[in-house]
A = this chain, B = another copy of it.
């Protein structure tokens, strides 16, 4: 893949390690689970149920106060067998729209699929999300938006395409996805765009960032879903900002780097398990 040197073309900041310590702060003493935010993950059809499970697990293990999952009902037993901490609602339940209104962060897309039901859930979700809520659009939801040419105007949006999804959404072929081209396309979308690759890039309305950490041990199914859950959990706790989104991206890779010292492949379930300890060290300025 031909790539321009990012630094020559546009101002791309490298996310710094110290950002982690700034974003992940010791928790306030006077707090309750509501203090740390409500997350709703919408995803997981009958084929890709694991994606929603991994996203929800990451949100819980990084500290979101309350996490619900709207998913295909067949995923119920596996979700609760792994994560009794989460609540579940069938994603075709009419109550879903009411539930959306009660949360701080909606993450839609992990394993959602691209059939009519998925398109309908996505469309209703886009109409229901309020300005004050954060919205993460991932995976199948990105493909659906590209295919159905849906308009998203929600300012507090975070997009998490991998390179093929970004091609579908931006129209830029993978080999042409230079930082400049990506940045130009990203500015046409509301919110922040995270283009995932072996060196993930972030494009916010005001700046561009590159993630300096990461390891090929992360190149395995489910890692993107795990990032979605971390983004949701970070935003639920720390608010939506360039710093917070960058910190989630950085932490995701930094934990994987640590685990890769002793593991040839870093699986999502291993990374998720490590989140509480990594974040404690971050809050104590020990990473």
Contacts and interface: CB of A to CB of B under 8 A. Distances in A.
Nearest to A38: B221
Query: Which of A62, A85, A88, A276 gathers the greatest number of chain B CB atoms within 10 Å?
Result: A85
Interface in A83-135: 83-89
A31 B216 contact: yes
B222 A32 contact: no
A268 interface: yes
Interface size class of chain A, counting residues whose CB lies under 8 Å from the partner chain: 35 or more
A30 B163 CA distance: 13
A81 B84 contact: no
Contact of A163 (B32, B49, B275): B32
A264 B24 contact: yes
B219 A268 contact: no
A119 to B, nearest CB: 18
B265 A277 contact: no
B220 A30 contact: no
A219 B33 CA distance: 4
Interface in A68-87: 74-87
Contacts of A264: 24, 27, 62-63, 275-280, 282-283
A74 B81 CA distance: 12
Contact of A27 (B27, B217, B276): B217
Contacts of A184: none
Interface stretch (A6-14, A53-61, A142-150, A204-212): A53-61
B33 A65 contact: no
Given A32-B197, A78-B81, A80-B78, A86 B50 contact: yes
Interface of A: 1, 24, 27-33, 35-36, 46-51, 53-54, 57, 60-67, 74-89, 162-163, 197-198, 215-217, 219-223, 260-270, 275-280, 282-283
